[in-house]
Amino acid sequence: MRLGLALAAMAVLARAGAAEESTERYRSMDSREQAGPHYQRALDLYAKGVGAAPAIIAELDLEIADHPQSMQARILKARVLKGTDRCEEALVVLDDVDAIADAGEFISGGAKFLRAECLYYGKRFAESKAILTTYGAFMTTSPAGRNRYDELRTMVDEALAAGH
């Protein structure tokens, strides 16, 4: 329900030029967040691939318990959930990321992009496009980010054009 309300609000704000306001009011997330040993173990396990997903999630849950404001642990958890076709669960984790980010008045372009991907894979194309449109400036700060953004935006636009 929070997601639906947030997306409805974003659609209204986007029409009123909120995308520009977002880039002025909010700052991009600083990726130098402190991490504990569970996060490092999760990263080590992440390199082993999808078979390690349950162990990765267990380590990240411990990291989140130790560091309740850890956005990077939540983002990695959402990424693992998405990679194991559990996008609805990933969206719940990303709701927590958004709450932490909103409290600090910053935006994680990576988290917003991950949300747009999950919405796309969940066939919620209009919602995905709204995220991409509103937060694109936070997703395209590097050439690789720009390429990922363009690729997802094309896939979303094609799905919408096909009547999905």
Domains parsed from the chain with CATH numbers: 2-161 (1.25.40.10)
pLDDT confidence of 10, banded at 50, 70, 90?
very low
Distance of CA 99 to the CA centre of its chain: 12
Task: Check the CA dihedral 88-91-95-96 and report its sign.
Answer: positive
Cα separation, 142 vs 164, in Å, equals 30
Cα separation, 115 vs 127, in Å, equals 10
Residues 15-59 have pLDDT tens digits of: 333 333 333 444 445 455 678 899 999 999 999 999 999 999 999
Q: Which helix H or strand E contains 131, and what residues bound it?
A: helix 125-139
How far CA 156 is from CA of 17, 56, 75, 150, 163, in Å, comes to 21, 29, 22, 10, 11
pLDDT at 31: 52
The pTM of the full predicted model, rounded to 2 decimals, is: 0.79
Task: Check the CA dihedral 72-32-152-24 and report its sign.
Answer: positive
Residues 69-114 have pLDDT tens digits of: 999 999 999 999 999 999 999 999 999 999 999 998 888 999 999 9
